[in-house]
């Protein structure tokens, strides 16, 4: 049975498989490689972005225009939706939420927009929670609150080989203090208040990954949690980390490995490894 509340998110947060599973409408961001612009999705892969970055080809990203969200909302309304819940990546690092909010003002049905203050599966877990709430009979307002609570409780930690890609895209935030010494250290970062901030400096990549594991275990605590291990062009390290977390986190409900999409990949660069820990209710 179709929901009366349509759930909308963006391509950085919900991939095709998850979108189909949760019945989510996904609005794509754009990736520009060289002089060619692509909608994030089947036309441009994380591997394409990783290769372009390694070859020093110019790579940039852009948000969807408000008109794209407006058309998405109106299609839902014409299909019979009574309300829309639109959940997106942090407004501190992308204008996507702003575009969604602008379109919501003129929509013909109520649109509830949520700035998750998270990235990747940090937002994805909030979308999952909202989808479950809607399936359980929650209203749009109630599901929106579920998404806010889930995203606020989520911890997102990540390692990058270099801060250069984040610096180029202007997403490095408070971590800029590390840029000058990026070649001498391996930075660990986290999402805090919607921004990418420096967490720790570690001298080698091996030590950084060990520390990332420790921080993820600490973040899991005694709660029932979902964990996502994400990477860009670093599958072996991601699988190894996931295996160790399965052993060390006794209360993990769901733990999976995925590769970040092309948009996030453009800003973190090859080698990135992230862990998102999201407690249940």
Report yes or no on 170 lying in a domain: yes
Report yes or no on 36 lying in a domain: no
Identify the three-state secondary structure at position 267: helix
Domain count, the chain: 2
Co-location of 226 and 211 in the same domain: yes
Q: What is the CATH number of the domain that holds 221?
A: 3.30.1180.10
pLDDT digits (tens, 9 = 90+) for 220-278: 998 899 999 999 999 999 999 999 999 999 999 999 999 999 999 998 889 999 999 99
DSSP state string for 124-148? HHHHHHHHHHHHTT--HHHHHHHHH
Identify the three-state secondary structure at position 11: coil
Comparing C-alpha atoms, which of 268, 250, 249 is closest to residue 259?
268
Report yes or no on 39 lying in a domain: no
Co-location of 110 and 69 in the same domain: yes
Co-location of 11 and 109 in the same domain: yes
Q: What are phi and psi of 260, to 5 degrees?
A: -65, 155
Co-location of 272 and 190 in the same domain: yes
The length of the chain in residues reads 281
Co-location of 108 and 234 in the same domain: no
The residue segments making up the domain with residue 90 are 5-29+64-151
- Enumerate residues 6+ apart whose C-beta is below 8 A from 104: 69, 73, 84, 86, 111, 112, 113
Question: What pLDDT was estimated at residue 180?
Answer: 45
Q: What percent of the chain has pLDDT over 90?
A: 79
pTM over 0.95: no
Co-location of 203 and 237 in the same domain: yes
Alpha helices in the chain (DSSP H): 16-22, 46-54, 66-78, 96-105, 121-135, 140-153, 164-168, 205-220, 235-248, 262-268
Q: What are phi and psi of 26, to 5 degrees?
A: -105, 125
Write down the residue that tokens 């911890």 correspond to. Answer: 155
pLDDT tens track of the chain, all 281 residues? 578 999 999 999 999 999 999 999 999 999 999 999 999 998 899 999 999 998 999 999 999 999 999 999 999 999 999 999 999 999 999 999 999 999 999 999 999 999 999 999 999 999 999 999 999 999 999 999 999 999 999 999 999 887 777 776 555 554 454 544 545 678 899 999 999 988 888 888 889 899 999 999 999 998 899 999 999 999 999 999 999 999 999 999 999 999 999 999 998 889 999 999 999 86
Domain boundary among 151, 186, 210: 151
Report yes or no on 57 lying in a domain: no
pLDDT digits (tens, 9 = 90+) for 56-66: 999 999 999 99
Co-location of 101 and 170 in the same domain: no
Co-location of 165 and 244 in the same domain: yes
């Amino acid at each position: 049975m179709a929901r009366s509340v349509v759930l909308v998110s963006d391509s950085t947060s919900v991939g095709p498989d998850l979108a189909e599973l949760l019945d989510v409408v996904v609005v794509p961001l754009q990736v520009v490689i060289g002089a060619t612009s692509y909608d994030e999705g089947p036309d441009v892969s994380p591997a394409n972005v990783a290769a372009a970055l390694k070859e020093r080809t110019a790579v940039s990203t852009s948000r969807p225009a408000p008109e794209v969200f407006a058309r998405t909302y109106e299609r839902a309304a014409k299909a019979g939706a009574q309300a829309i819940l639109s959940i997106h990546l942090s407004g501190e690092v992308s204008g996507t939420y702003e575009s969604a909010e602008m379109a919501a003002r003129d929509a013909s049905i109520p649109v509830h927009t949520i700035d998750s203050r998270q990235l990747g599966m940090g937002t994805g877990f909030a979308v999952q929670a909202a989808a479950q709430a809607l399936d359980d009979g929650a209203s749009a307002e109630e599901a929106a609150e579920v998404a806010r609570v889930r995203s606020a409780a989520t911890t997102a930690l990540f390692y990058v080989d270099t801060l250069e890609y984040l610096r180029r895209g202007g997403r490095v935030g408070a971590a800029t203090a590390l840029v000058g010494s990026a070649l001498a250290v391996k930075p660990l970062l986290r999402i805090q208040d919607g921004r990418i901030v420096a967490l720790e400096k570690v001298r080698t990549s091996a030590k950084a990954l060990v520390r990332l594991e420790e921080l993820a275990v600490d973040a899991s605590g005694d709660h029932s949690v979902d964990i996502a291990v994400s990477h860009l062009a670093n599958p072996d390290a991601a699988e190894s980390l996931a295996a160790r977390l399965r052993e060390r986190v006794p209360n993990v409900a769901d733990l999976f490995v995925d590769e970040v999409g092309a948009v996030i990949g453009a800003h973190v660069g090859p080698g990135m490894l992230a862990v998102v820990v999201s407690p249940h209710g």
